[in-house]
Structure 1
Amino acid sequence: MSHFSCIKTCIINKTVLKRTLIDLGFDYEDIQVQTQNKLYLKYVMSIKVKKNNINLFELIWNGVEFLFVADLQLWKYGTPYEQLLERITQRYSYNSIIEESIKQGFIRINEEKLKDGSIKLLLQRWH
């Protein structure tokens, strides 16, 4: 019997999310997920994430943020979902910072991955 777990994220930008998935070596497919309650039927945006043609998890838009949805009993990616979600969140944050910095006129000068796994960025903007 499968058990699907749904985890809230802070991911709200679909374009940055897709860039993040590519950066981490995942393939993805945009799909529409059908949901229904007693009053109506609706379709929501979803991203099905794959690696080597194996469906791993979905990121489903709930109107506020993307939810991480995975079948944790049968998942065979080899990395605990907590670590994977942490990697996705870190890279998403990195890509968000870079995107917003460029909009504000900054350029990336240097970046360094630290021993604790964090990334140190050096950005510069000339007036």
Structure 2
Amino acid sequence: MSHFTKCELKMTNLTALKRALEDMELDYTEAQANQSVQVRGWRGQTLDASMCINMGKYDIGVVSAGDGTYDLTADWWGVETTKGISEAEFKDRLSQRYAYHNVLQACEGKGYTVEEERNEEDGSIQLVVRKWVSD
């Protein structure tokens, strides 16, 4: 019986994901072209993935859904018992950092620069961006 379960978080931007993982100080291994990396689970079970996030004894896999999106798949019980972070906590923290980097990347791609960034008490992040346009 497999202990791997999919987290309900869909991602499309691997660059934003890697930056979010770096913010969270998590090590990851990305598969080479046309290859996969192995994700470790309960009792030596493994899963092939596009990326492996090292959580100690257990890993979190970034698995292609085949439609340009990626899912997070892991033995969440193992991750929680060895790292002390639940699936919900991980998903919430990663979602915020992923969205932050996704927005920054989109702004930079359209020629905007970040003028101000505020971390609010409720955990939200306020960004003020500006684009200079010449006549």
TM-score band, normalised by shorter chain: 0.7 to 0.9
Letter of the 1:98 counterpart? L
Q: Does 1:110 align with 2:116?
A: yes
Corresponding residue number in structure 2 for 1:8: 8
Write out the 4+ residue segments of structure 1 that deviate beyond 6 Å after TM superposition. none
| Counterpart amino acid of residue 68 in structure 1 | L
For residues 2 and 72 of structure 1, the distance between their equivalents in structure 2, rounded to whole angstroms, comes to 12
TM-score relative to the length of structure 1: 0.81
The 5-angstrom pairing of residues 7-86 of structure 1 reads 7-31=7-31, 32=36, 46-51=50-55, 54-64=57-67, 65-75=69-79, 76-86=82-92
State the distance in 1 between where 2:3 and 2:58 align: 15
Higher share of residues assigned helix: 2
TM-superposed deviation, 1:2: 5.7
* C-alpha distance after superposition, 1:63-106 (max 9, x if no partner): 23111111122222111111111111111111011011011111
Cα drift, residue 19 of structure 1: 1.5
In the alignment, the residues of structure 1 paired with residue 78 and residue 54 of structure 2 have an alpha-carbon distance, to the nearest angstrom, of 15
TM-score by length of 2: 0.77
Quick one: distance in 2 between partners of 1:57 and 1:45? Answer: 9
Deviation at 1:56, TM superposition (A): 2.9
Matched pairs, number: 117
Letter in 2 for 1:59: V
Deviation at 1:10, TM superposition (A): 2.8
Gaps of 5+ in 2: 39-47
Query: After superposition, what is the alpha-carbon deviation per residue over 1:13-70, rounded to whole angstroms, capped at 9, x for unaligned?
Result: 1122111111210111123169xxxxxxxxx75110014x544311111123111111
Distance, in Å, in 1 between the alignment partners of 2:76 and 2:49 is 22
RMSD across aligned positions (CA): 2.1
Percentage identity across aligned positions?
A: 28
AA aligned to 2:113 is I
Alignment CA distance shift 1:27-1:33 (3 Å): closer
Structure 1, gaps ≥5 residues long: 35-43
